[in-house]
């Protein structure tokens, strides 16, 4: 083969190699001029040295959910006297107060929400004395009362006259409510009111053994009596019995819920404030 022919073969091979370097697959529309060919690892490190590679983001350590700190228990400022009036422990303390209480619930969401809205408006706390059988029917309402910062009291399971019952019945009527309420809201009631205000030495003793402060009332709205079943009548009945430390008995009833805002306004206008049940001696 002549020297000239060898040169021609070598030149043709060079042209073919140059054409192959610009090949683009039909599935890859990236222009050949921008293709970066693989290089050994040291070269890649050197090329990227001017722009440090991003460090891998560390996996965050899960933060345990913070448990809500329990609200501090208010210090005792009041006590109940023999008539179940609220009396300041300090002789110079505020005597012009009332205690708000509601019996026989929880029954109806709309009524409870109306009562709660009014209590919130007046920044007032009350004791809701509940019956076990009603809590069993409406556990969500018990939780609602608790979540809104109101105080739950024990009013027996079946709302029967405990004074007429055998000791084992009394035990069960009180104990079952304690256990039921604790299972739903995580704490037991600390107040006890016997249905109809009818108790006995044994009922008082059992309440005490369950850690309950026994009470009846000293100002009855009588909202369960036919002639007082209107908002004006409820207000009138409470105000005509009003005295320092009044322990006011009311119920979860439509006319009482309707009357409550005006009643609390009238009490405030007369200079009365509302005792937080948690500040009563014997519940700490």
113/65 Cα distance (integer angstroms) = 30
Cβ 177 vs Cβ 151: under 8 Å? no
Question: Angle of helix 201-209 relative to helix 167-185, nearest 10 degrees?
Answer: 30
Integer Cα distance of 245 and 94 in angstroms:
9
Give the whole-angstrom CA distance, residue 185 versus residue 179.
Answer: 10
Q: Is 103 labeled as catalytic in the residue annotation?
A: yes
251 part of the active site? yes
Q: Cα(23)–Cα(35) distance, rounded to whole angstroms?
A: 10
Report d(CA 213, CA 194) in Å as an integer.
11
Catalytic residue among 85, 104, 223, 251: 251
Using an 8 Å Cβ cutoff, are 160 and 195 in contact?
Answer: yes
Q: How many CA atoms lie within 13 Å of 18's alpha carbon, on the beta-carbon side?
A: 6
| Residue in 103, 104, 223, 276 annotated catalytic | 103
Cβ atoms 151, 243 nearer than 8 A:
no
Strand segments (E) across 115-256: 126-130, 151-154, 191-192, 213-214, 219-220, 246-251
Q: Which residues are catalytic?
A: 103, 251
């Amino acid at each position: 083969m002549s020297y000239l022919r060898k040169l021609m073969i070598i030149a043709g091979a060079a042209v073919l190699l140059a054409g192959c370097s610009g090949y683009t697959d039909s599935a890859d529309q990236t222009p050949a001029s921008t293709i970066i060919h693989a290089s050994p690892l040291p070269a890649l490190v050197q090329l990227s040295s001017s722009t440090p590679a991003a460090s891998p983001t560390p996996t965050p350590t899960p933060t345990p959910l913070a448990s809500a700190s329990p609200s501090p228990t208010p210090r005792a400022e009041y006590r109940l006297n023999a008539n179940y009036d609220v009396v300041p422990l300090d002789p110079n303390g505020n005597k012009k107060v009332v205690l708000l209480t509601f019996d026989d619930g929880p029954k109806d969401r709309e009524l409870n929400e109306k009562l709660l809205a009014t209590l919130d408006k007046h920044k007032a706390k009350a004791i809701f004395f509940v019956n076990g059988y009603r809590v069993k029917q409406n556990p969500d309402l018990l939780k609602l009362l608790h979540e809104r910062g109101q105080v739950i009291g024990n009013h027996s399971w079946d709302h029967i006259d405990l004074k007429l019952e055998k000791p084992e019945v009394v035990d069960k009527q009180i104990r079952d409510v304690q256990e039921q309420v604790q299972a739903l809201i995580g704490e037991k009631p600390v107040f006890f009111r016997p249905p109809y205000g009818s108790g006995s030495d044994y009922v008082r003793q059992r309440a005490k053994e369950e850690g309950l402060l026994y009470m009846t009332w000293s100002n009855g709205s009588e909202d369960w009596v036919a002639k007082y079943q209107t908002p004006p009548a409820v207000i009138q009945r409470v105000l005509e019995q009003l005295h320092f430390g009044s322990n006011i008995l009311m119920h979860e009833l439509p006319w009482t819920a309707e009357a409550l805002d005006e009643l609390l306004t009238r009490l405030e206008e007369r200079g009365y404030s509302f005792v937080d049940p948690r500040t009563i001696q014997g519940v700490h």
